[in-house]
Each structure stands twice: as C-alpha cells, then as structure tokens.
C-alpha cells in the first residue's frame, strides 16, 4: 500500500481550464513536497509545505497543506501546455522521502 495516495491518476484538460490534484495519507507529516517530472527527466522540486493550513503560491500554482498535516492539494489556474507533466507528492518517512504514485496531467492546446 502507498503511504501517499494521489488522485486522480490521470487528468486531461483544455488550455485555460483549472485543475486540482490531491495527495492524501493517514499519517501525519512534518512536511510535504510537490515535484513535477517531465518526460525523459528526473523530478524537480516545486514547493515544500511545512505548517498545517499553509498555502503557498508559485505563479499559477497554489499548494495547500491540510490543517492536520495529512493531506495536500495542488491547484493550477488557467493551465497551459507547459504545465503538462507528472505531478508527485512526497513526504519524509524517517529519513526516507516516499513518493505518491503521481498524477499525469495533460494540457491540450
């Protein structure tokens, strides 16, 4: 079983639409990270959220950490084809960074 459950698994939307990706767990985390992975490349860190209830914005991307620090969401406003990729949430479990299975986002022009 995955420590982190991500949903949906796949998401295909039209350019300009909004989307939300979820990352859930039954465990409490001290912090949670979001990475984006493009085809043929390794994951790249987008953001780290640390405080329960925290909201961070990165241009059109908004990240939220749940109050109980068990879940997180990533919202993209007015998605663009350049947002296409695999979005992965990750959390520290002891010293190991464990990843969710990811959400594959496709933004059609």
Query: Would you tell me which residues interact with another protein (CB under 8 A)?
Result: 2, 31, 33, 40-45, 48, 88, 92, 94-102
CB atoms within 10 A of CB 92: 13
Token pair of 33, please?
Answer: 């990270």
Pick 42 or 109: Cβ nearer another protein: 42
Query: With b meaning 16 or more CB within 10 Å and e meaning fewer, what string describes 39-76?
Result: eeeebeebbebeeeebebeeeebbbbbbeebbbbbbbb
In the complex, least distance from residue 27 CB atom to another protein, rounded to whole angstroms: 15
In the complex, least distance from residue 6 CB atom to another protein, rounded to whole angstroms: 9
Pick 16 or 52: Cβ nearer another protein: 52
In the complex, least distance from residue 26 CB atom to another protein, rounded to whole angstroms: 18
Residue with tokens 């520290």: 92
Pick 59 or 96: Cβ nearer another protein: 96
């Amino acid at each position: 079983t995955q420590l982190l459950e991500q949903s949906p698994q796949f998401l295909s939307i039209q350019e300009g639409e909004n989307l939300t990706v979820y990352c859930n767990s039954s465990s409490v985390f001290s912090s949670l990270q979001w990475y984006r992975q493009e085809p043929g490349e390794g994951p790249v860190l987008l953001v780290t959220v640390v405080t329960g209830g925290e909201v961070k914005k990165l241009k059109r991307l908004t990240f939220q950490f749940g109050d109980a620090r068990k879940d997180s969401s990533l919202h993209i406003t007015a998605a663009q084809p350049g947002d296409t990729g695999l979005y992965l949430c990750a959390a520290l479990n002891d010293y190991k960074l464990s990843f969710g299975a990811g959400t594959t986002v496709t933004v059609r022009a």
